């Protein structure tokens, strides 16, 4: 079954991209913790680049799954890897199941790392908001009201009414 081998080979390559994404997410975590924003910017660029490649690989995976489904004579409605595993030869099915398990495991790791990174970012934003709130108490509103007074004080000057 060339279609199944092609699908397995594709999943191996896709798994490598997901593993690289995990590595980049760990680097992102370190950059956030170190507050190294220049490195964080570079890391985020790498992450975005990887995500674009992963999205392309996902489209190709769907095409390969459809081809495998057709080669196995399965109904088109059963387009999923689990159905292919059941219909495939034992050795190819085992390899396919192994790759599927790896991808699921890596996806769980990605979710967890993203959750931790999200907590770090929320903490940083909370600190920024607290600092801005603290600094905001020292800002003086310098607007004159309609009586020509500044915060209730009479302002006098060469161009202002001396009786103000």
Of residues 47 and 152, the one with the higher pLDDT is: 47
pLDDT digits (tens, 9 = 90+) for 91-136: 998 999 999 999 999 999 999 999 998 888 888 788 788 888 777 7
pLDDT digits (tens, 9 = 90+) for 40-58: 999 999 999 999 999 999 9
Helix (H, G, I), strand (E, B) or coil at 53: helix
Whether 145 contacts 57, CB under 8 Å: no
Q: Quick one: how far is CA 25 from the chain centroid?
A: 9
Provide the terminal-to-terminal Cα distance of the chain, rounded to the nearest Å: 95
**Alpha-carbon distance values, 7 to 3, 60, 139 (Å):** 6, 9, 63
Q: Which CATH number fits domain 2-126: 1.10.3470, 1.10.860, 3.90.1070, 1.20.58?
A: 1.20.58
For the chain, what are the domain ranges?
2-126
């Amino acid at each position: 079954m060339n279609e199944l081998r092609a699908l397995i080979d594709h999943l191996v390559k896709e798994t490598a991209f997901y593993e690289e994404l995990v590595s980049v997410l760990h680097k992102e975590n370190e950059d956030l913790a170190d507050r190294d924003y220049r490195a964080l910017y570079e890391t985020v660029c790498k992450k975005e680049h990887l995500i674009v490649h992963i999205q392309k690989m996902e489209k190709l995976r769907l095409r390969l799954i459809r081809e495998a489904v057709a080669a196995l004579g399965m109904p088109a409605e059963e387009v999923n890897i689990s159905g292919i595993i059941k219909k495939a030869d034992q050795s190819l099915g085992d390899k396919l199941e192994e790759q599927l398990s790896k991808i699921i495991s890596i996806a769980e790791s990605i979710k967890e790392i993203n959750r931790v990174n999200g907590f770090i970012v929320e903490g940083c934003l909370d600190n920024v908001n607290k600092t801005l709130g603290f600094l905001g108490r020292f800002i003086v509103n310098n607007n004159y009201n309609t009586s020509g007074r500044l915060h209730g004080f009479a302002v006098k000057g060469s161009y202002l009414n001396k009786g103000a």
